Amino acid sequence: MFSGIKQDWEELKAGEPGHRFQDRYHRRHQRGQDGPAFRKVVVIGFGLVVIGVGVLLLIFPGPGWGTIILGIALMAGESLFLAKILDLGELIIRKMIGKLRTNT
């Protein structure tokens, strides 16, 4: 189980920015890892729980948004729409960081 998670993380990390999550989605479905509908429901349900915890953590500085993004990333393996949103978000964040670096 943990070796699969590690491999998934390594593939995500090695992916091209702006396509990481979409590529992950397609890899999972090409490998036949989409599995039964029950698995999808469990993954999406767990992702929603993680997002809910993230919303509760928004009262503290820091961990709320990271937890929400983690929940969305979990669900992106089952949803091409969410995968596209995360890829777009990554590009926007990279562009903002690049501008901040050039201004300092």
Tens-digit pLDDT profile for residues 65-86: 899 988 998 899 888 999 999 9
Supply φ then ψ for residue 8, to 5 degrees: -60, -45
* Predicted pLDDT at 39: 80
Chain mean pLDDT for the chain:
86
Count how many Cα atoms sit within 13 Å of the Cα of residue 38 in the half-sphere of its side chain: 0
Report CA-CA distances (Å) from 13 to 23, 52, 55.
11, 26, 26
* Predicted pLDDT at 56: 94
Q: How do the domains of the chain map onto residue ranges? A: 9-103
For 24-45, the pLDDT digits (tens) are: 888 888 876 556 778 888 889 9
pTM of this structure: 0.76
